[in-house]
Amino acid sequence: MDDVAELRAKHLAAIAAAADEAALEEVRLAAIGKKGEVALALRGLGAMSPEERQVAGPALNALRDEIASALAAAKAALSDAALSARLAAEWLDVSLPPRPAAQGTIHPISQVMDEMAAIFADLGFAVAEGPQVEDDWHNFDALNIVPEHPARQEHDTFYMARADGDNRPPHVLRTHTSPVQIRALQGQGVPIRVIAPGRVYRADYDQTHTPMFHQLEGLAIDRDVTMANLKWTLEEFCRAMFEVDGVELKFRASHFPFTEPSAEVDIRCSWKDGQLKIGEGDDWLEILGSGMVHPKVLAAAGVDPGQWQGFAFGLGVDRIAMLKYGIPDLRAFFDSDLRWLRHYGFAALDVPTLQGGISR
């Protein structure tokens, strides 16, 4: 047993004195390797008497396990010390001023929608919102769109699948924000003046059309609203939106299921050297559709068409943004190109107001 104690003291001292992993490996080989002292002592158990073997065997096995544990602990301590030294050498003072981060900008669509909301708020219009997934009645039936109308076909409209066995009419991704007008009439009643901005969806994609785009529709219902009120409202909007004093609009007879009479609206403009100028020149540019709300639409919303009448109009927010800020391709609105966003974007805190300026 004295030999076991000597081996223990000798090799544990060597482990404590080891300065690196190479020295630890030398101690391991000398102690419990195949030719190590403890290993040789274990192999010598066979030459002992049974009584001696009964005492020496457990002591040598315990010594081997103790040395192996001490080696593992010393190796872990050396690894931790090496990592601490590396971290100290590679330390970075994170309190130093960072590089300036790129400043974000407001998307042109968001900017133009804010501009429009500011203009129409000054004209007495509130903002109304509704769901983007609509039922068939609000999106079509209540707006006097007959079942055979092309807009109700799958090549124009995104229909939502129903569960098997559900025979109700399918929901759709709204094709316009006109359903919001129906919901506003049902919820608020008349008289009413609201605009309904938001996303809409149609199955179309090219330089001037995308499957998702943005519309703003306006509605004004009262007892004595006329086309003259509509004309004045649109002139005031165009004057403020394009920031020109002289605005001339031309109303062309058209047909929309939800208005009667209906008119498409053109604005006088000029194209010179590829630059669009509103309010001057000999050209005309279509900017929106409008008309007096159809009596069937009023009746569907629970409004008596014999007592109330009004106008509605709808315009493409994306198209107005392209015209106002000279953006050539509608698809770029949805490409998430940071260079494009930095070029056409707007400062985040410059909120458009009629007093401070719409375009900022």
List pLDDT tens digits, range 188-202: 999 999 999 999 998
Q: Is there a domain that residue 123 lies in?
A: yes
Please check whether residues 190 and 232 belong to one and the same domain. Answer: yes
Question: In 78-125, at which residue ranges do the beta strands (DSSP E only) sit?
Answer: none
The helix/strand/coil state of 66 is helix
Q: Is there a domain that residue 183 lies in?
A: yes
Q: Is there a domain that residue 247 lies in?
A: yes
Q: What is the 3-state secondary structure (H, E, C) of 329-340?
A: CHHHHHCCCHHH
Please check whether residues 277 and 318 belong to one and the same domain. Answer: yes
Please check whether residues 231 and 113 belong to one and the same domain. Answer: yes
Please check whether residues 81 and 15 belong to one and the same domain. Answer: yes
pLDDT grade for 358, boundaries at 50, 70 and 90: low
Cβ distance 288 to 326 under 8 Å?
no
Please check whether residues 83 and 130 belong to one and the same domain. Answer: no
DSSP secondary structure code for residue 150 in this structure: G
Cβ distance 214 to 199 under 8 Å?
yes
Q: What is the pLDDT of residue 301?
A: 96
Q: Is there a domain that residue 351 lies in?
A: no
Cβ distance 115 to 359 under 8 Å?
yes
pLDDT higher than 80, residue 173: yes
- CA torsion, ordered 318, 225, 142, 129, to nearest 10 deg: 50
Please check whether residues 84 and 112 belong to one and the same domain. Answer: no
Q: What value, to the nearest 5°, has the Cα angle with vertex 49 and ends 48 and 50?
A: 115
Residue 345, CB-side half-sphere exposure with 13 Å CA sphere: 16
Please check whether residues 291 and 330 belong to one and the same domain. Answer: yes
Q: Is there a domain that residue 84 lies in?
A: yes
Residue 273, CB-side half-sphere exposure with 13 Å CA sphere: 0
Q: Is there a domain that residue 99 lies in?
A: no
Nearest Cα residue to 312 out of 266, 239, 256: 256
pLDDT higher than 90, residue 46: no
Please check whether residues 10 and 137 belong to one and the same domain. Answer: no
113 vs 165, more confident: 113
pLDDT grade for 7, boundaries at 50, 70 and 90: confident
Q: What is the pLDDT of residue 208?
A: 62
pLDDT > 70 fraction of the chain, expressed in percent and rounded: 93
Cβ distance 347 to 324 under 8 Å?
no
168 vs 317, more confident: 317
pLDDT higher than 70, residue 269: yes
Length of the chain: 360
DSSP secondary structure code for residue 44 in this structure: G
- pTM, whole model, 2 decimals? 0.68
pLDDT tens-digit profile of 346-357? 888 777 777 656
Q: Is there a domain that residue 101 lies in?
A: no
What is the chain's alpha carbon radius of gyration, rounded to the nearest angstrom?
Answer: 40
103 vs 337, more confident: 337
Please check whether residues 38 and 125 belong to one and the same domain. Answer: no
Considering the chain, what is the average pLDDT of its residues? Answer: 86
pLDDT tens-digit profile of 272-295? 777 788 888 889 999 999 999 999
Q: Is there a domain that residue 98 lies in?
A: no
Please check whether residues 75 and 115 belong to one and the same domain. Answer: no
pLDDT higher than 70, residue 309: yes
Cβ distance 352 to 118 under 8 Å?
yes
DSSP secondary structure code for residue 194 in this structure: E
pLDDT grade for 27, boundaries at 50, 70 and 90: confident
User: Which stretch of 78-82, 95-99, 206-210 has the lowest confidence by average pLDDT?
Assistant: 206-210
Nearest Cα residue to 345 out of 100, 104, 101: 104
Pick from 26, 61, 89: which residue ends a domain?
89
Q: What is the pLDDT of residue 147?
A: 84
Cβ distance 111 to 352 under 8 Å?
yes
Question: In 91-205, at which residue ranges do the beta strands (DSSP E only) sit?
Answer: 126-127, 133-134, 172-173, 192-201
pLDDT > 90 fraction of the chain, expressed in percent and rounded: 42
Q: Domain containing 225 — which CATH number?
A: 3.30.930.10
- pLDDT, mean of residues 158-183: 85
Cα(126)–Cα(37) distance, integer angstroms: 93
pLDDT higher than 90, residue 10: no
23: containing domain? 2-89
